[in-house]
Amino acid sequence: MSTEPVWTQPEPGRRRARHTREQIAVAALKIADSEGIDAVSMRRVAAELDAGTMTLYHYVSSKRDLLTLMNDAIAAELLIPEEELERNWRRALAQIAHRSRATWQRHPWSIGSLQDAQLGPNGMRHFEQLLVAVADMPADSEEKLALITLVYDYVLGFVIRGDLFPVSRDDEWLQAVGGYISTQLGTGEFPHVQELVGAGDREAVIRWLTTQATADDRFDDGLRRLLDAIALHIDR
């Protein structure tokens, strides 16, 4: 089995080629999106393409190569058309942040599941685009990479916390939480929570606190605050 990146390995000649690596990646993503990453195997992808398992090995020599193709297909979704990319670092990073969130929402299984994948051409293009996005940022290369990583950490953390595991806030949940908070506030041990909640209808306050903004609103607000902080950091 070759240890070279799949991109350096020649694809089958035209006579033998019934599929492309791009088609294989699309089929694998379709399986992962609908059934989870554990359902993806060479046999399963071959069946999706109506091909023999051994035939698939003419295109990809290992499961790692398959994951690499999937990873690069996802990287393609991260790319913003060149003519649409903003020429201001702040607006460009905001564009990339929103596109990254949308991509991870479509492929939530990919978070933490593609560590064994190798970097591919679309991954390189995405990295290049990140550097283009911050080209006008008045900072050195090391600082730019650190700030790009900071934005990515925010987006990934939001997807995991806010998009993949949203909190249930139905009436039953609100009543239960409201009752518990009321009991705890009666102990006098939580003066700051008491100040926040006040003396009114605590269930109504909790409902307001938990529904005052949609996930999209919270994402935009958090991203704005983060970019504000980055701008202040650069100014210093």
Does 131 have pLDDT greater than 90? yes
> Is residue 143 packed enough to be buried (19+ CB in 10 Å), middle (13-18) or exposed (0-12)?
middle
> Is residue 25 packed enough to be buried (19+ CB in 10 Å), middle (13-18) or exposed (0-12)?
buried
Does 113 have pLDDT greater than 70? yes
What was the pLDDT predicted at 3? 64
Question: Can you list the domains of the chain with their CATH numbers?
Answer: 6-72 (1.10.10.60), 79-165 (no CATH), 167-236 (no CATH)
How confident is the model over 18-56, as pLDDT tens digits? 788 899 999 999 999 999 999 999 999 999 999 888 888
> Minimal CA–CA distance to 231: which of 106, 65, 89, 122?
89
Between helices 121-133 and 89-106, what is the axis angle to 10°?
A: 150
